[in-house]
Structure formats: C-alpha cells, structure tokens
C-alpha cells in the first residue's frame, strides 16, 4: 500500500521534473519571459507614467495614489504567469504527437497523478517566469519585504496551477501546435486586457459613477473576468492598492484554481 503511494508520488516527481527541465531549456519561452516585462514595464509603463495622475471627467475625479509603473507592475507579473501557464500545456500536444503520452498512460501511474505532475510542472515554470518580473520590483519603486514576497509567491502558484490546468483543457481540444498558439493567444489577450490590468476602475466611485466614466458593457466584462480579481489581489500584496474587497481576490483565485483543475481531470479522462 505504502509502496504503491510512494511509487505514484515518484511518478509525479518525475513528470514534474521533466516538465520543468524542458521548459527551462526552451530558449523561446525564456526570451518571451524576459521580453514581455521589458516591453510592458519599460516601454508602456514609462511611456504612460506621466499621464497617470488625478484626472477630472465631468464631476468625477480619479485619484490614484501610485505611479503608472507601480500600478501596471503587478499586472505584468500576472501576464507572465498567464502566458507561461497556458503555453506550458503545449507539452501535452508534443507528448501526444510523439507517442510519449501513450507510453505514460499504459504505465502503472493513474491518469490523475500524470495530470498532477504536468500541472505542477507548468505551474512551477510559470512561477519562475513571474519571479523574473518580481526581481525588478525595486527599479519601478515597489518595496518588497519577506512577508510580501511569500504572499506573492503563494498567490502566483495558486494562479499558475489553475491556469496551467486551463491550458491542459485547451490542449485537449486542439490537435496542432499552430492551432494551439493561435487559440491560446485568442484567449490570453482578451483575458488580460479586460482584467483592469492597464486601467483602473476607481474604487472611490459608485457603480453609477463608474458607468458614467466607462461603457456599461466594458464594466460588466471587467467585473465578470476572474483574472480581474487575480490582478487586484496582486496589487493589494505589492502596492497595497485594491479596487475590490482585498479577500475577494484570493477567494476567486482559489475557487478558479480548484474548478479548472477538476475540469482538467474530467477532460484528461478523454485523452
């Protein structure tokens, strides 16, 4: 009994290690993990930083007590995790195309343990890519303490776990590498841009005031995008700025991770 459990855990570790090594040896992923924060933080962040200040729209005044660089920095961490998590699921297509998955599926390991190893591997790689952004926090004026770093790492891992499971679900429906890239980008970019990542919905405004400032359809999409609450929770940790209830972000990310993993378990039975 104990030997069987240890065998399953050993298999999970082997698959996790294989996923992490393969991702870290992929120069394309590493270059993307560095170029994305450089593009967003250095070019967009510095470019728009002077315009991010108190603005008046009719009788409504935005007052955001942080620079745009500080505001967008947590969202760039989430973006790096989002990209890496979903793209890591392309390994499922590789394994399926080259027969490795078939060999693993006929091994004594259960499908749930195989899936767990792949999701943990993808989540670990995504957290590493998130840490690449976190490493330049001081350059954009974000102060990191040990408590802040630990809280951010926990949130990053739970988010990456759920998003990697989501990528597995997508990879289960998409058969080709090119189709997976196109389809995943069609999912990633709308999720990111409607997550209040590049502009705030000011918490000082009532809903009626918000609807005066933004189109109602945009407010509804932002409020119903679960990634909005992940970005908000990351901002709460890193710059102590929340647009919603501080606990709501952690709750949404936790529920999303569990729900997406259960969905991935269901879909992986069809592989």
Task: Classify residue 65 by burial, with Cβ atoms within 10 Å: 0-12, 13-18, 19+.
Answer: exposed
Of residues 16 and 208, more confidence is placed in: 16
Of residues 203 and 253, more confidence is placed in: 253
Provide the pLDDT confidence category of residue 64 given band limits of 50, 70 and 90.
Answer: low
Of residues 64 and 3, more confidence is placed in: 3
Give the range among 52-66, 175-189, 216-230, 253-267 with minimum mean pLDDT. Answer: 52-66
pLDDT in tens, 110-167: 889 999 999 999 999 999 999 988 988 888 889 999 999 999 999 999 999 999 999 9
For residue 217, pLDDT beyond 90: no
DSSP designation for 108: S
Q: Return the C-alpha torsion angle 191, 137, 67, 39, nearest 10.
A: -50
> What backbone torsions phi and psi does residue 62 show, to the nearest 5 degrees?
-85, 130
pLDDT in tens, 35-49: 777 777 777 777 777
How many other C-beta atoms are found inside a 10 Å radius of the C-beta of residue 221? 15
Provide the pLDDT confidence category of residue 4 given band limits of 50, 70 and 90.
Answer: confident
For residue 251, pLDDT beyond 60: yes
CA distances to 146, 154, 226, 232, 245 from 151, rounded to whole Å, are 9, 5, 19, 14, 17
**Cα–Cα dist 16/100, whole Å:** 15
Number of H helices, E strands in the chain: 13, 2
DSSP designation for 90: H
Q: What is the pTM of this model?
A: 0.86
Q: Return the C-alpha torsion angle 200, 198, 222, 125, nearest 10.
A: -130
């Amino acid at each position: 009994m104990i030997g069987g459990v240890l065998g399953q855990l050993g298999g999970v570790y082997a698959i996790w290690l294989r996923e992490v090594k393969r991702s870290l040896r992929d120069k394309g992923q590493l270059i993307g993990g560095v170029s994305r924060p450089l593009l967003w933080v250095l070019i967009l962040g510095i470019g728009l930083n002077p315009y991010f200040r108190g603005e008046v729209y009719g009788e409504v005044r935005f007052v955001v007590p942080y620079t745009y660089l500080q505001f967008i920095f947590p969202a760039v961490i989430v973006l790096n995790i989002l990209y890496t998590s979903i793209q890591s699921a392309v390994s499922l297509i590789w394994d399926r195309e080259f027969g490795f998955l078939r060999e693993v599926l006929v091994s004594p390991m259960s499908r749930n343990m195989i899936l767990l190893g792949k999701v943990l591997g993808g989540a670990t790689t995504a957290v590493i890519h998130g840490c690449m952004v976190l490493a330049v926090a001081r350059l954009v004026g974000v102060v990191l303490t040990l408590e802040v770093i630990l809280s951010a790492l926990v949130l990053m891992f739970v988010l990456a776990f759920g998003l990697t499971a989501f990528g597995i679900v997508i990879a289960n429906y998409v058969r080709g590498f090119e189709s997976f890239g196109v389809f995943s980008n069609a999912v990633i970019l709308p999720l990111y841009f409607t997550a209040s990542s590049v502009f705030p919905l000011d918490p000082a405004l009532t809903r009626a005031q918000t609807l005066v400032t933004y189109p109602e359809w945009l407010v509804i999409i932002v409020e119903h995008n679960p990634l909005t609450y992940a970005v908000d929770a990351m901002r709460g940790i890193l710059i102590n700025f929340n647009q919603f209830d501080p606990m709501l972000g952690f709750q949404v990310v936790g529920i999303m991770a569990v729900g997406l993993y259960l969905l991935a378990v269901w879909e992986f039975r069809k592989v």
